[in-house]
Amino acid sequence: MKPFCLLVPGLVLALILTGCAADAAMPAQPPEPSPAPAAESAPPPAKAPVPVPAEAPTPSQAEPSQEPEEGDYFDNALFVGDSIMEGVRQYVAARRQEGEALGTAQFLTSTTGISLADLTGDREPGVQFSYKGEARPLEDIVADIGPRRVFLLLGLNDLASDPDPVVEDVVSRYTRLILNLRSACPGVEFIVITNPPKVASQWLPDYTANRNFGNALIGEFVDELKAICPEWNIEYVDAYEALKDENGALPDDYCRDGFLHLNHRGASVVVDALEAFAGGR
C-alpha cells in the first residue's frame, strides 16, 4: 500500500473529528452588536402620541374570551404597576413557593419610576413598560397577553417626580390611559388599585423631585381618583384604605425602605384587599 492511500482516509478522518470538536466550550465572546437599548427605562424612539380613545380596536389585537369564567378569579389577570406593584409581585412569588396566591395572575412591573405621564405620552422622552425584552406601549403588551382583567397601580411617580403636580391632571391622565386601553383592548376589564400612603417620616429619597411629596398629596389624589372612577365605570380596590394607619400614613412595618415601597407584610394587606374584592364578585 502506498503512503498516500493511508493519508487520504487519514485526512478525511481528521476533518470529521475536528468538525465535531467545534461544539466544545468556547471562551466568552464579545456580544454581537445589539439593537439600541430600549426597555423598562429606555425612552421610546419618538414621542408617543397622546392617547385618545380610539373608535375601533386594532384588528390584530387579541380579544379575551367572553365565555363564562372558570377557575380562580385572578387566573388570566394581569397586574400592571410601578415599583409599589413590584413589592406585591415579590410577595405573590414568595407565596407561590408554598402554595397559591392570586391564581395564575401575571405581573408587569417597572422599577424605573414609570408614571402615567410616560404612558399617556405627556412626558417626553417617556419610559415604557418592557415585555419580552422590548419597551412597548402598554396597550400593545396588554393586547399581546390577552388577559381577562387588568389591575393597575400607578400614579405616585407623577406626584413625586413633578415638582408641582396638579392632582386633577394626574387623575385625568389615569382615566385617559384606561379609556385608551379599553378602546385598544375591548372586552378586557380594567380595575384600579388605589395607591398606598407613604410612611409618616418626612424623609424623601434624592430622586424625588417634589420635595413636598407626602401623605396630604397622596390622600388628595386617592380621594379624587375614587370620586372619578364611578363616572367612568371603573372599579377600584381600595388598598389605600386598607394600608393607612389612624394618621393616614403607611405603618413603618409595612414598608421596606422608610419611604413607601411595600414589604411582604404591606403587600399581604393589598393581596387581602384584592381577595376580598374578588370574593364580592
Partner 1 sequence: MRRYLIVLAALALLLSGCRGEAKELPAPAELFAEIQAEVELPEMINTAETDLEALTGIGPDSYDSAVCYRLCEGTAPDELIIVRANSAGDTDKIQELLEKRLDDKREAGTLYLTEYQPMLQAGVVRRDGLTVSLIVSGQVEEIARVYDDSLQAVTGPG
Q: Please identify, among the stretches 8-16, 177-185, 211-219, 220-228, the one whose residues bind partner 1 according to the rule CB under 8 A.
A: 8-16
Tell me 121's DSSP state: T
Q: Does 206 bind partner 1 (CB under 8 A)?
A: yes
134: enclosing H helix or E strand: strand 134-136
Half-sphere exposure of 237 (CA within 13 A, CB side): 26
Longest distance between any two alpha carbons in the chain, whole Å: 100
SS3 at position 215: helix
243: enclosing H helix or E strand: helix 239-243
- Pick the binder of partner 1 from 6, 50, 52, 166 (CB under 8 A): 6
Q: Does 56 bind partner 1 (CB under 8 A)?
A: no
Cell numbers that stand for 30 in this block: 464579545
Q: Does 263 bind partner 1 (CB under 8 A)?
A: yes
**CA–CA separation, 251 vs 193, rounded Å?**
18
- Pick the binder of partner 1 from 45, 53, 65, 94 (CB under 8 A): 94
Q: Does 23 bind partner 1 (CB under 8 A)?
A: yes
| Cβ count near 174 (within 10 Å) | 25
CB of 145 to partner 1, least distance (A): 9
Q: Does 71 bind partner 1 (CB under 8 A)?
A: no
Q: Does 232 bind partner 1 (CB under 8 A)?
A: no
Q: Which residues bind partner 1 (CB under 8 A)?
A: 1, 3, 6, 9-10, 13-14, 17-18, 20-21, 23-29, 31-32, 34-35, 37-42, 83, 86-87, 90-91, 93-94, 97, 106, 108, 110-113, 127, 130-134, 205-207, 256-257, 261, 263-264
